[in-house]
Amino acid sequence: MVANVAWSDVVVPTRTIRANAIISDIDVGTKAGQIPNGFDHIGDVIGQEARTTLYAGRPILVDDIGPPAVVTRNQLVALRFETSGLIITTEGRSLERGGVGDRVRVMNLTSRATLFGLIQPDGSVRVRK
């Protein structure tokens, strides 16, 4: 017995795309195939950042791309802690690279403590207890 397989288009790079590069419309195309963790619409990958090197002709997987980084490693960032109406803001250093919504490690420059926080659209990092 032969199972019916529905084939669709999968998004693939048309050339090698290096890690940390922003994907544009000239970088990608489609080819016939089926992959469970891949993309089937070019619009879903344009404007995203490659998290790893993407090779021409190989399907782009969900974990291979993400939102563009707004914070780089060793960048000075504003740390913001909010609780019960209290807001504390200080300066920190990002220990990781990340995009909006990513959880990154940061160092409070005053206390030298390492904390975790979420990157905000303005490039600051919101720290929780």
Q: Kindly list the domain boundaries of the chain, sorted by start residue.
A: 8-66, 69-127
The single residue listed with the structure tokens 């404007």 is 47
Best CA proximity match to 50, nearest among 20, 13, 10: 20
Give the helix/strand (H/E) hosting 39.
Answer: none
Whether residue 8 has pLDDT greater than 90: no
Best CA proximity match to 54, nearest among 24, 10, 99, 19: 19
pLDDT at position 1 is: 45
pLDDT at position 120 is: 95
CATH of domain 8-66: 3.90.1210.10
Confidence of residue 84 (pLDDT cuts 50, 70, 90): confident
Residues paired with residue 31 on neighbouring β-strands, in sequence order: 10
Best CA proximity match to 60, nearest among 72, 45, 43: 45
Beta carbons of 100 and 122 less than 8 angstroms apart? no
Architecture of domain 69-127 in this structure: Roll (2.30)
Q: Give the residue with greater pLDDT, 46 vs 84.
A: 46
- pTM for the complete prediction? 0.71
